[in-house]
Amino acid sequence: MNILFNKPPITGNEEKYTLQALKSQKLSGDGPFGQKCQAWFEKHLPCKKALLTPSGTAALELAALLIDIQPSDEVIMPSYTFASTANAFVLRGAQIVFVDIRPDTMNIDEQLIEAAITDKTRAIVAVHYAGVACEMDTIMEVANRYQLFVIEDAAQGMMSYYKGQALGTIGHMGAFSFHETKNYTSGGEGGLLIVNDEQFKERAEIIREKGTNRSQFFRGMVDKYQWVDVGSSYLLSELQAAFLWGQLERADEINTNRLASWRAYYSALQPLQAVGKVKLPTIPAACTHNAHMFYLKVAGLYERNVLLEHFKVKDILAVFHYVPLHTAAAGKRFGRFQGEDRYTTMESERLIRLPMWYGLPKDDQAYVISAIEEFYV
């Protein structure tokens, strides 16, 4: 039995809509399907503007441009995240200030942010790991007190909530990913930037359209469009938007299915947690998650490697996750770690992600659970 770690979601209408877009001869961004997707996001993620992008990375880069990050600026974020979170700001010349994480959620420790602020700090990036929200009330309070921008890296957070508010809608902007490993995909890559602060709404469209006012031209607001600001090409193709629309139509179904798999893992592995063999994910009371991933934590690096070998023998593809950015060559070059690394490295070395995808067969999941039980018996 070969158990995949991930399988991109397919709900049934993606092919039909993609062919429809292909035959329409409108292949570039912001076509009919792109507009339908953006309208869906503006309804489900109440915001000033939703803009599809080629990737979650591009959405973060667009956010960095919008807040005018300069070479003298510092940006605070966790080290336990993907390289794109840092790269978006490093590309603008910023210095990254890494802060330790909370061991319960693997999110940035909100209590350590204030100590990392200097007169050069411009923004805080809140990464919602595994679709579980950071402690946003505290983060926003600190940011408001120091007049800092908050960018939510909600790459894994579509359909997750903090105190009933959709992730990505709390900070000044939110960035999402539709990579094939995410709960919803636009055909392999893709992303979304949502703008929550009115001051960025108009400029976001301009930067996304190569620094031109093309969007205003097509709405009849100007008689010709021209280059008016810095910008780049940050539009998602119509083919990818059509694929994504097939998934958004059944977003609740995908979410429900993943949550059922997540709960099945949690229920079956709870006895191992009760006797101290493993640690399962923690979901704070303020958070409603989207079952983006299911992970367990083991005793340490050695045990993790042995368990991964056990999975390999069983033909189960399970993986560890991020190598902390501050320990990487680029992290040392472009950033610094503020304070003590109490948990970031230690917890990252304990974590294993289990197979999780939309439509994960119950027999496959039972096989994975059985393999874990066999390892610890």
What DSSP state is assigned to residue 179? B
- Domain 14-248 indexed as CATH 3.40.1360.10: no
CB atoms inside a 10 Å sphere around CB 188? 13
Supply the pTM of this predicted model.
0.97
What local confidence, expressed as pLDDT, does residue 265 receive?
Answer: 99
Give the CATH H-level superfamily of domain 251-376.
Aspartate Aminotransferase, domain 1 (3.90.1150.10)
Between CA 162 and CA 135 the distance in angstroms is 8
Contact between residue 285 and residue 135 where contact means Cβ atoms under 8 Å apart: no
3-class DSSP state for residue 51? strand
| pLDDT tens per residue, range 46-73 | 999 999 999 999 999 999 999 999 999 9
pLDDT for 219 beyond 90: no
Residue 93: phi and psi, rounded to 5, are 95, 5
Spell out a b/e string for 32-46, using b for 16 or more CB atoms within 10 Å of the CB, else e: ebbebbbebbeeebe
Between CA 245 and CA 269 the distance in angstroms is 35
CB atoms inside a 10 Å sphere around CB 232? 15
At CA 210, angle to CA 124 and CA 174, rounded to 5? Answer: 25
3-class DSSP state for residue 152? strand
Domain boundaries, the chain: 14-248, 251-376
Residue pointed to by tokens 């950015």: 325
Q: What radius of gyration do the chain's Cα atoms show?
A: 21
Read off the pLDDT band of 338 (50, 70, 90). Answer: very high
pLDDT for 222 beyond 90: no
What local confidence, expressed as pLDDT, does residue 2 receive?
Answer: 93
Beta-strand pair 121-127/149-153: parallel
CA 361 vs. chain centroid, Å, equals 25
Q: Is 251-376 the same fold as 14-248?
A: no
